[in-house]
A = this chain, B = another copy of it.
Amino acid sequence: MAKEKKLVEEITSREEDFAQWYTDVVKKAELMSYSKIKGFMNYLPAGYAIWENMQKDLDRRFKENGVENCYLPVLIPESLLSKESELVEGFAPEVAWVTQGGQSPLEERLAVRPTSETMFSELYSTIIHSYRDLPKTYNQWCSVVRWEKTTRPFLRSSEFLWQEGHTAFATEEESEEFTQRMLNVYADFCEETLAIPVVKGRKTDSEKFAGASSTYTIETLMHDGKALQSGTSHNFGDGFAKAYGIQYTDKDNKLQYVHQNSFGASTRLIGAVIMVHGDDSGLVLPPKIAPTQIMIVPIRQDAEGVLDAADKIADTLRAAGLRVKVDDSEKSPGWKFADAEMRGIPLRIEIGPKDLQNGIEDVVSTVQDLLVTEQADMLQRAKDFLNSHISEAHDYDEFRDCVNNKPGFIKAMWCGDPECEAKIKADTTATSRCMPFDQTPIDDKCVCCGKPAHKLVYWGKAY
């Protein structure tokens, strides 16, 4: 037992130091490693496979909503990036610039893609002519580079993987409908696939995306009580259309500007899965995205027939579409169990000489049922945690008390003045996470200044 114990002991407990626990899990489960270039990560197979499963599921949801995938260049000319002034101001401090191509210096600097509103707008300005060309709902899966000073695995790094959807619609109404529809796609994906409940709402003006007229967000709650912005959907109105000249002739042959939105989710979601579901034994993965759903551990694997039986069950489960591995390494069964648990594999099955006589007729349905139950239980636990970590504050003293003593979201009214928002942030480090869609007021005055207030806001410390 000494070895099994050691394996677990190497992970710091969440109570002791949550940040260290997170780093330990990421490292021990071999999800990523730091690259030689400061701020850049290697996505190792165990981590990348989680992303692949997320991609598959989300991509299917996008396609059901008519989204088409494409791929636009990784380099963006500075002049193109500068056409929308808010966007370029928002991103300029974080851009990596290419100044030399092959043997020659470039006439114009090229940005390594930090986000692609500009490239999609440029493309749309050349391929949209008539109302018959609308809507366009394109998406790309790619990496983006944003120069970061401090980094943290999956949560913040100078390069990350994401998808960015960019659209063009004839009318403001259609664009707004699609913006909210994509937010719901993210919310459903989080609940149904990642087993993570979300708070949905709109960002305040100070927290919205550079260039957007409105930003919607799904906010999730980590085990340490901090919030994580987990997916955003932005409505741009006709701002980019005017900056990039994206026009179409309508049915009356009049020239009109298109209306646009964009939506993105990234490898941050891997961080969310770790910090919502993980425990002191390591990673805990929802069955729907676990790269390995079942680990079969042979007991006395040198005994005749044991490994064959293990492989046979594995094949049976694989034939039913399940993701299975057999751990036939030289380690002890106890070590293998602890290792599989640390890596978040939802189900571990042991097979020993005594099991050889038993039939395996029901193994597929039994395993499928267990995985469905585990997925549902994980969502329920996360929901219970979320619901028990939302507090209400009616005045500033109460608000400060919540920030200091009640980890989680704080519901409080806000007058709408950005100065109150800034003061709260400066005083407490809590930020406005979103104005939830359900705006049932809990009070009639601002939690900060005491003036009349009609906006309900979720506040919280955040990653």
Q: Which residues of A contact B (CB under 8 A)?
A: 33, 35-37, 40-45, 48-49, 51-52, 68-77, 80, 93-103, 109-110, 112, 119, 122-123, 126-127, 138, 142-143, 145, 147, 158-159, 161
Contacts and interface: CB of A to CB of B under 8 A. Distances in A.
B101 A98 contact: no
A70 B119 CA distance: 27
B122 A36 contact: yes
Contact of A75 (B45, B52, B110, B145): B145
A97 B94 contact: no
Contacts of A98: 96-99, 112
A415 B168 CA distance: 61
Given A48-B71, A102-B147, 8 more contacts: A35-B73, A35-B123, A42-B73, A45-B69, A48-B69, A74-B159, A99-B99, A101-B158
A49 B74 contact: no
A70 B44 contact: yes
B112 A35 contact: no
A45 B73 contact: no
Contacts of A138: 45
Given A36-B77, A74-B143, A102 B110 contact: no
Contacts of A74: 74, 112, 143, 145, 159
Given A42-B70, A93-B103, A143-B71, A123 B77 contact: no
Contact of A99 (B94, B97, B145): B97
Q: How many copies of this chain?
A: 2
Nearest to A75: B37
Contacts of A76: 37
A98 B97 CA distance: 5
**Residue of A42, A52, A99, A103 most packed against chain B (CB within 10 A):** A42
B69 A101 contact: no
Given A52-B69, A101-B147, A159 B80 contact: no
A98 B42 CA distance: 19
Contacts of A73: 35, 37, 40-42, 159
A75 B36 contact: no
Contacts of A143: 71, 74, 142
A387 B363 CA distance: 52
Contacts of A159: 73-75
**Residue of A74, A147, A158 most packed against chain B (CB within 10 A):** A74
Nearest to A41: B73
Nearest to A136: B45
A35 B52 CA distance: 28
13 contacts: A33-B126, A35-B122, A36-B77, A43-B72, A44-B70, A73-B159, A74-B112, A75-B145, A96-B101, A96-B102, A96-B110, A99-B99, A99-B100
Contacts of A145: 74-75
A128 to B, nearest CB: 12
Nearest to A291: B68
A163 B331 CA distance: 34
Contacts of A96: 75, 98, 100-102, 110
